[in-house]
Amino acid sequence: MKTTNIKPKPTVFTIFGGTGDLAARKLIPALYNLYLDGYMPAKFTIVGLGRTDYDNQKFREILLDGINKFSRSGKADAAKWKVFSSCIQYLQSDAKKDKTYQDLEAIIKEKDQEWGEESNIIHYLSVAPQFFPIISKGVATINIENKEQRNRIVIEKPFGHDLDSAKELNKLLQSLFDETQIYRIDHYLGKETVQNMMAFRFANALFEPIWNRNYIEHVQISVTEDIGVEDRGGYYDGSGALKDMVQNHILQVLCLVAMEPPVSFNADEVRNRRVDVLRAIRKFGHEEVKHNTVRGQYASGWVAGEEVLGYREEKGVDPNSNTETFAALKFFIDNWRWQNVPFYVRTGKRMHQKASVISIQFKDVPHPIFPIEASESWQQNRLIISIQPEMSIRLQVQAKRPGLDMILNPVDMVFNYDGTYPAESPEAYETLLLDVMEGDQTLFMRADQIEAAWELLMPVVENWESRKSINFPNYAADSWGPEIAEALIAKDGFHWFTMPVKNKKDKK
């Protein structure tokens, strides 16, 4: 989150996994767009590392292809790409070999000399998690002056596969680097609408006085995908919806909704308040797992006229898999602000709609003065924050329908990003990569946050892993998940909020 106009220092940006999907799809397009918008440092070099035998030219061609396909700014401008790509080099390397780190050391020293000043060095670990330890140890051996001030390390998700492995990775990283050098990425926190949660809550006098149990009835966070596991079956089968989505993205969004106001916009002040929420969430005992959690797995079916595979038939997935592709949970936050306000979260694959939405439903008016005929389509006030694909914030209020009769119906006061801001919003990775270059950790996960999130979910993880589900698969493709997920919320008198789908063809 850029708050100053100071350009970052000269930067050596290394990408371990430079030939991978994330680099081509997100990281390089993000760096290129930062360059187009004038945010890259005046002097920088991007070093892509991978095992494939490419030269600089071939590597740049592959990255250009990625930009042309995935960049929000469309096809690359030839002249601008020429200058940008001259700052990219390829290092064929094996993360397990010492030579990789010796080669990097030589590049960094060469750049220091060429630029006549010490650069910041960012090591981005865009590789499978089993490589996090070996690469972290490797980059820590790079022998340069003032490395504590210069080195930053960025760790992709998943950060651990349970509490013990997350603790172990934290312990290792903290033995090699200071916490101020470690950037654990959760790209949801870089999304515009998610960042706007803080602006909405803490830059307006309107919301904060009613942002509590006295006025809010319940909160929902729903992150649904219409696609299946695609070619990630092998990875996903060892993970599942709870670890892939709830432990990180959804809990972080929940923290932003529920956090107390920080005393300032300082990174640690904000992160302290987020971790307070995780610590206040009611623990899951046996009864809570039984009554407040639901898991699901998608069956085969039809989506937009095309037949699709069930999860257990997907490539790389165990045909008897017990892995959940859907999870719904009810949380309570045991503090003064939120006592007894339920927070419902759900996430799933192959669902009817792709949407990430937060719905905050306010309590009903204390006394209805209108006759029943006037309020047939009554809807309690709701604040709907749509993160994707639509980026909007809507406040649903009751209004009188124009006409001679006194008929009330809900209307939306809409703040739509597309209509309000002519410029396209930056992608989450642009925000986050710039933050790393500027040394701002506000939107990154601290060690204690990661561990608190794992600690909270471990009873659910252990319960689900140890008890094979007898009714998987239990929801059809293109549905809203298993029926019991409806029951989870319906038994409290609510229903899941869904964004109106404008056109089914727009879904992809």
Annotated binding site for substrate: 187, 191, 225, 244, 349, 354
Two tokens at 97? 């070999």
CB 104 within 8 A of CB 142: yes
Give the span between the Cα atoms of 488 and 490, in whole angstroms.
Answer: 6
**Closer CB to ligand NAD, residue 82 or residue 315?**
315
Using the rule CB under 6 A, give the single segment among 18-26, 108-116, 252-260, 390-398 that binds ligand NAD. 18-26
**Binders of ligand NAD in range 24-63 (CB under 6 A):** 25, 50-51
Tell me if 315 contacts ligand NAD by CB under 6 A: no
Nearest distance, CB of residue 159 and ligand NAD, angstroms? 9
Two tokens at 403? 């006409």
**Closer CB to ligand NAD, residue 60 or residue 157?**
157
Tell me if 231 contacts ligand NAD by CB under 6 A: no
Alpha helices in 387-446 (DSSP H): 417-420, 428-438
Instruction: Specify binding-site residues for NADP(+).
Output: 51, 157
Instruction: Specify binding-site residues.
Output: 51, 157, 187, 191, 225, 244, 349, 354
Nearest distance, CB of residue 20 and ligand NAD, angstroms? 2
Smallest CA-to-CA distance from 293 within 438, 441, 465 is with: 465
**Binders of ligand NAD in range 118-137 (CB under 6 A):** 126-129
Select the residue interacting with ligand NAD from 11, 19, 151, 449 (CB under 6 A): 19
**Closer CB to ligand NAD, residue 70 or residue 370?**
70
**Binders of ligand NAD in range 85-104 (CB under 6 A):** 93-96
**Closer CB to ligand NAD, residue 161 or residue 201?**
161
476 Cβ contact list (under 8 Å, min separation 6): 298, 299, 301
Nearest distance, CB of residue 187 and ligand NAD, angstroms? 7
Whether residue 249 lies in the annotated active site:
yes
Give the span between the Cα atoms of 495 and 498, in whole angstroms.
Answer: 9
Site string for ligand NAD, 136-175 (x = CB under 6 A): --------------------xx------------------
Burial of 464 (0-12, 13-18, 19+ CB in 10 A): buried
Nearest residue to ligand NAD by CB is 20
Annotated catalytic residue within 123, 161, 218, 249: 249
Kindly give the pairing relationship between strand 355-362 and strand 343-348. Answer: unpaired
At position 393, the amino acid (one-letter code) is I
Nearest distance, CB of residue 128 and ligand NAD, angstroms? 5
Backbone angles phi, psi at 409, to 5 degrees: -150, 155
HSE-CB of 389 using CA atoms within 13 angstroms: 11
Give the span between the Cα atoms of 319 and 298, in whole angstroms.
Answer: 13
CA distances from 19 to 12, 101, 412 (A): 18, 18, 45
| 41 three-state secondary structure | coil
Two tokens at 12? 């050596």
Neighbouring C-beta atoms of residue 329, cutoff 10 Å? 25
Using the rule CB under 6 A, give the single segment among 14-22, 246-254, 297-305, 316-324 that binds ligand NAD. 14-22
Nearest distance, CB of residue 15 and ligand NAD, angstroms? 8
8-state DSSP, 52? S
Nearest distance, CB of residue 220 and ligand NAD, angstroms? 24
**Binders of ligand NAD in range 393-452 (CB under 6 A):** none
Residues recognised as catalytic: 249
Q: Which residues bind ligand NAD (CB under 6 A)?
A: 17-22, 25, 50-51, 93-96, 126-129, 156-157
